[in-house]
Amino acid sequence: MAFGHRYTGLIDRYRDRLPVHDDTRIISLGEGNTPLIRLNNIPRELSRDVELYVKFEGLNPTGSFKDRGMTMAVTKAVEEGSKAIICASTGNTSAAAAAYAARAGITAFVVIPDGKIAMGKLAQAMMHGSVVIQIEGNFDDGMRLVKEVASAAPVTLVNSVNPFRLQGQKTAAFEIVEELGRAPDFHCLPVGNAGNITAHWIGYSELAAHSGDHVTAACTFCSGHCRYAGGGVAGQRPKMLGYQASGSAPFMRGAMVDNPDTVATAIRIGHPQSWDVAWKVREESGGWFDECTDDEILAAQKLLTEKEGIFCEPASAASVAGALRDIRAGKIPDGSSVVCTLTGHGLKDPDTAIAQASRTPIKVPAEIDAVTRAIHENMD
C-alpha cells in the first residue's frame, strides 16, 4: 500500500524560500495550498475572451489570507523568544493572530474598533482566547496605538509592518504560478493596508528573478528577508491591480483618508501602512489602482455566490467588482489571464450576507403537502 505525503503548511513547503532555519520551531495550522478556481459562468455573460480565476484565500484555517503571514510572523516571534504578540485589526488579522498565538502557547492582544468589526471575526478572536481591546476609534487609531505599545512593551507587533508577514503572504504568488505554469497577465486584489499587493509582488519578482529575467524589485520590498533556492519558472510578472472601496480609497485620493467608511470592513482603512511600497508596485508592474462603490462590491459578492457557488466576504469581492468593470471596458484586453484574490470567507460577515440574500426562509407547516407546494412554487 502506498502512502501519501501529508501537507504541513506553507513554511515547510517553501522552506528554501523563507527566512527560517533547520531547527526553527514552525507554528502552523496547515495554511496555504488554497484553490485557484477558474470561473465558468460569469465570463460567459461578459462577451469577452478572458480567462478569469479566483484564488480563494477564504479556505485558509481561520478563513482569510492573513494566515499566510501569521504563520511566519508568529514562528519568528517564538524563535526570538517572544511570549506575546499584538495587532490592530478590522477583524481578520485578529482572528489569525489569536489562532496562531493559541497554537504557539503565547498570548495575543488584539486592538479592534468598537462596533465596527464583523461578528464572525470577533467570535474567532474571542474563542481563541486572545485579549480583545476595543477602542473608541477606527483601525488607523488602533494601528497608531499598537505601534507605540510594541515599542515600549515586551510584545511582538504582527501587523503587516512586520516584514515576516509579507514573507508568508508572498507564497500565494508561488502557488498561482505553479498551477498556471506562468504568472497571470493581471492580478487583482482588494486594497486596504496594501500589504498583500506588496507581498504578491515580492513573490512574483522572486520567481521572475530566478528564471533568468532581469528584475530588480524583490529585495527593495522585503527588508533583506527574501530567500530563494531552486529552479526558476516563467519570468513574466503580472500587472498588479488594486481596488479600494470608494469610502475608503486613499490611493485614489492621493492622500490619507481620516474617516474611512465602507460595508467592506476588511478594507476600511484610511492610512495604509504600505503606502509607499504599494505605489512602487503599481509603477513597476504597470498596473493601476481604482475604486468600487459599496453597491458594486456587494453585487459582485452576490454574483460569485449565485453564479459560481463561491462565498467570499464583501472586501474580497472588490477585486472581482473591479476586474469585471475593467474587462467590460476593455481596459483588461481580450486574451488576458486574470487572477482575483478573494481574501476572506463569506462566513466572516454573516449579517451583511443575510441582509442582501435573494431568498429568505419559507415557513410552512410540517406536512408533505405544504413542503411540496413550496417546492413547486419556487422552482426556477
284-343 pLDDT, tens digit per residue, is 999 999 999 999 999 999 999 999 999 999 999 999 999 999 999 999 999 999 999 999
Q: Where are the beta strands (DSSP E) in 57-170?
A: 84-88, 107-113, 131-135, 156-157
> Between vectors from CA 325 to CA 321 and to CA 326, what angle results, nearest 5°?
115
Q: Tell me, what's the pLDDT at 117? A: 84
- Cα 107 from Cα 130, distance rounded (Å): 7
User: Model confidence at 162, in pLDDT bands (50, 70, 90)?
Assistant: very high
Mean pLDDT of the chain: 92
- Which SS3 state, helix, strand or coil, does residue 314 take? helix
Cell numbers found for residue 277: 511600497
Q: What number of other Cβ atoms are within 10 A of residue 24's Cβ?
A: 15
- Comparing 276 with 219, which gets the higher pLDDT? 276
37-63 pLDDT, tens digit per residue, is 999 999 999 988 999 999 999 999 999
DSSP strand pairing (239-245 vs 131-135):
unpaired
Q: Letter for the amino acid at 175?
A: E
pLDDT over 60 (residue 12): yes
- Cα 199 from Cα 201, distance rounded (Å): 5
pTM, to two decimals: 0.91
